[in-house]
Structure 1
Amino acid sequence: MCWTLPVLPHRVRTAAALALGAALVVVSVGSCAPAEVPSAQAGSAGVQISTGTPQGVRAQQVMDMLNSDWPIGPVGVETLAAPDQVDAVVTTMDGLWWDRPYTLSGIEYGAGSATLRLLTSYGARQDIELDTDDAGMVDRFEVVNHPPEIKSWADVDDVLSATGARYSYRVSRIVDGRCEQVAGTNTAESLPLASIFKLYVLYAVAEEVRAGALSWDEELAITEATKAVGSSGFDELPPGAKVPVRDLAEKMIANSDNMATDMLINRVGTAAVERALVDAGHHDPASMTPFPTMRELFSVGWGRPDVREQWKHASREGRAEMLRDAKSRPYEPDPERSHSPASPYGAEWYGSAEDICRVHAGLQTGATGPTAPVRDIVSAIPGIDLDREKWPYIAAKAGNLPGDLTFSWYAVDRTGQPWVLSLQMNWTRYHSPATAGWLMMTIKQMFGLIPVGQPAAR
């Protein structure tokens, strides 16, 4: 799913890759470390690396580089890795670097090899396995992520509270379209939604279709302005090309396509999305009013000029004026802030776990007659690898902006019982894509705790 800012080309990823947590991805790095990332000196849990062998020397070098305040780049990695491995090691270490500081909890040595046992800054267990060649350079560099052990909802809280993030999760049984909580923490706290907000855009689109004011077959024209925020599904199409509303809606949810989202918002109008907030049961629609398009919010949060402080202290009327100003000029991303969270300034879309459950349930309940395609739109990509015999229907929406990782599912179990599971994570610093993969390991075990086939408590 393409869940984040268009200024970072590495952020176009598939849902399957996130679900499996399989790959570390290239991260664009500026000339210096972001100020909000703490100074990171090589840490250990009383473990010392022996540098009497080539593999020991390289293991120590890896730790020093990962915990340095200086970004990873080819010049440094050329002193570590064999020439044919430099590019691959740069890619991997570049992603790891954003999750510093690392604590060394153990090390194992083999013939020309070493395995570093690490803890990331957010508490994940991670191994780095490396081999050295005859010249003492690294010719194999692999990262192994270990899932946390989850056997109860208390374990979920232990794992999430150790990440240093503000977090909220909720698991709800859906009964007659209502959300009945089974487990959760901080479920009423309003936290960043990232791209989960697009469910409200879909809700508004569905309501327009139901009213006969919009058709799934209506074609909307791509413009230069909408292309500015990036597209994972229609990036090859030129301005003037037309795309059906149904296709735009599916890409908005399945691929989290930013351009498709703004095209739909522009078509139905922000007032329709604001009505959708109310109709879908958002706890505080005023907090999302005026409702920003992606281009407008990206301009405020990550564009030039830097107006974050102004946004933070602006009134509702002042924010409306700032959004009009952002819309009136070209979107110019600021590379110096591309990894810097904007949520500390209030530049995000917000909602609670309770809100997320209500909008998922509302979309499904309303998916009848002309709006029946909604069920297929939200389930085009399940976003998680579950046993489909146990979970025959899975609808998903997730999000990723600097500092914010969000996940949500509406899933129907083999008995026909619907459930909604959501997780919101909010840090004051950027974390790498590997963090989402590790959280998916936690979420998959959370699905395993859902009492499928058991009657609701009375």
Structure 2
Amino acid sequence: MIPRLTSKSLLALAVAATLLAGSGVATAAGATAGPSPSPTGSPGVEIPATPAGQQLRWVLDAIGRAPVPESEIKEHIADSYLAAVPPAEVNAFLQQLAGLTLNAVDSSRPKQIEVTATLAGHKLTVTLGVDDTGKIDLLGAEPILPLPPEPKTWKELDERLAKVAPRHAYLAAEIKGSRIRPIHAIGQNTDRPIGSMFKLYILGALAKQIRQGKLSWNTQLTITPELKSLPSGELQDRPNGSKVSVLEAATLMISISDNTGTDMLLHKVGKKAVEKTMRAWGARDKRNFPVLSTREMFTLKGADYPKHTKAYLALGTAAKRAYLRDTIGKLPLTSIVPWLKPPRELDTIEWFASPADIARAHAELRKFTDPNVGRVMSVNPGSLAEGTWYKGGSEVGLLALGHSYRAANGKVYAITTLATDPSAPFPATATPELVSLARGAVKLAK
């Protein structure tokens, strides 16, 4: 969901077409493959002959022919995608992309490809994924936007944050051991949905078990159909039975918010261990228990919605655990239908913490002497300086940024921003604005 923050979180890339507010630039929607040459591709750009690459060729070709027959769309696009984005909307989207030019292939795997493109003078990052049958089940485009000017005062930061999100909480603080010294705050103790930030607690439980000798960073995990989740990530594309080390899974979980790696680690360390870590580190909101895997969250919100949501929310904690195991756990990934708007169940089915809780999580992780913890947390600095620890989170209607860093004065600071809009998705301009606010806070916190 986030340009260059990498943690594109949960359903952000699985969701349909939106227009970049005020610019006339289209963002994502669905389509699929066919090896015909693209009239909109740059001559020097070679599209890989992978299932995802073939589907990208089809998309580029279909843009020049839209509207294309509904039968052709159904031949190429997964039913789960079309349930959220009907063929008529696909055609409308393709027509909006007229004139799209492919600039470069940024990354390519058999089932997923990411490219840079230009539309009406605007740069876009386009991500396309296919399912096991080769049909498109993920297609997203994010404008590559310049960062706005950084705020010069805390008052300016507050005013700009309020314009981004109707609901927000914020904390800039100094970390001293486990103690958090607030420097500037808005609702620092208010619990908000945090999206993939909950993965900090999985890393914490994992680091504890490694310190206790129960696991090691070299422990091998096995990718199974039951543990595969939806993007973001890459482990969902690896064959069943593949092995991945705990260190690789943890690195992917934090750096690119790999949901399959997350669920594999959650399964390995155990939900009870993660819940214990959440409580110990302050994230005691009752809505966190039982802690959900990413796949369980997707399924509750996306499979036969709102049937399972209503059933689940009516239960007590013990009964919820049984429902997740006996009902939700038996539903296939193909039962999940992506959603775009309005946001779903942000106040009920999510993971919850306050800005102070997130700062505390960073503080506790920094107390581990194991260097791998720091390496995992700093692979992706979240658009701040190299070496910054970062984990963000997002889903439709939710953006969360959490940084911690050691300043030149030797002090350690944490900056946490939690933003939600329960009524609508955030515009593409929201993330660059929040990044700019975080950068400004780094200077203001000195």
> Shared fold (TM-score greater than 0.5)?
yes
Partners of 2:97 and 2:256 in 1: CA distance: 36
Structure 1 residues 82, 200: CA separation in 2 closer, same or farther (over 3 Å shift)? closer
Instruction: Choose which of 364, 384, 395 in structure 2 pairs with 1:362.
Output: 364
Name the % identity: 24
Query: Cα gap change, 1:233/1:419 in structure 2, threshold over 3 Å: closer, same or farther?
Result: same
- Asked whether 1:3 is paired with 2:4, we answer no
Counterparts of 1:300 and 1:442 in 2: how far apart (Å)?
A: 33
Query: Which residue of structure 2 aligns with residue 289 of structure 1?
Result: 289
Q: Kindly state the Cα deviation for residue 196 of structure 1 after the two structures are TM-superposed.
A: 0.5
In the alignment, structure 1 residue 416 sits paired with structure 2 residue 421? no
Q: Could you tell me which runs of 5 or more consecutive residues in structure 1 were left unpaired when the two chains were aligned.
A: 12-23, 31-70, 96-141, 452-458
Q: Partners in 2 of 1:327 and 1:74 — Cα distance?
A: 35
**Residue type of the partner of 2:333?**
Y
Greater gyration radius? 1
Structural RMSD (CA):
3.2
> Which residues in structure 2 correspond to 1:292-441 (within 5 Å)?
292-306=292-306, 307-324=308-325, 325-335=327-337, 337-365=339-367, 367-368=368-369, 371-386=370-385, 393-428=387-422, 429-441=424-436
Indicate the SS of the match to 2:249: helix
Partner amino acid, structure 1, of 2:202 = V
Q: Is the counterpart of residue 250 in structure 1 residue 245 in structure 2?
A: no
Matches within 5 A, 1:37-436: 75=92, 89=119, 147=148, 150-230=151-231, 232-282=233-283, 284=284, 286-306=286-306, 307-324=308-325, 325-335=327-337, 337-365=339-367, 367-368=368-369, 371-386=370-385, 393-428=387-422, 429-436=424-431
Distance 1:264-1:171 versus aligned 2 partners, 3 A rule? same
CA distance in 2, matches of 1:331, 1:29: 18
1:445 and 2:440 are equivalent in the alignment = yes
Q: Which amino acid aligns with 2:382?
A: G
Letter in 1 for 2:392: A
Query: Relative to 1, partners in 2 of residues 1:275 and 1:336: Cα closer, same or farther, differing over 3 Å?
Result: closer
Structure 2 gaps, min length 5 = 1-5, 17-24, 32-87, 103-116, 126-142
What is the Cα deviation at residue 81 of structure 1? 8.6
Determine the C-alpha separation between the residues in 1 that align with 2:303 and 2:97: 37
Q: For this pair of structures, how many residues does the alignment match?
A: 343
Contact conserved, 2:380 with 2:389, CA < 8 A, in 1?
Answer: yes
Give the TM-score of the pair, scaled to structure 2. 0.69
CA contact (8 A) 1:10 1:27 kept: yes
Partner Cα distance (1:146, 1:243) in 2? 36
Paired residues of 2:194 and 2:393 also in contact (CA < 8 A): yes
Q: Decide whether the 8 Å contact of 2:172 with 2:416 is kept in 1.
A: yes
Kept in 1, the 8 Å contact 2:153–2:444? The answer is yes
Classify 1:207/1:310 alpha carbon distance in 2 versus 1 (closer, same or farther; 3 Å): same
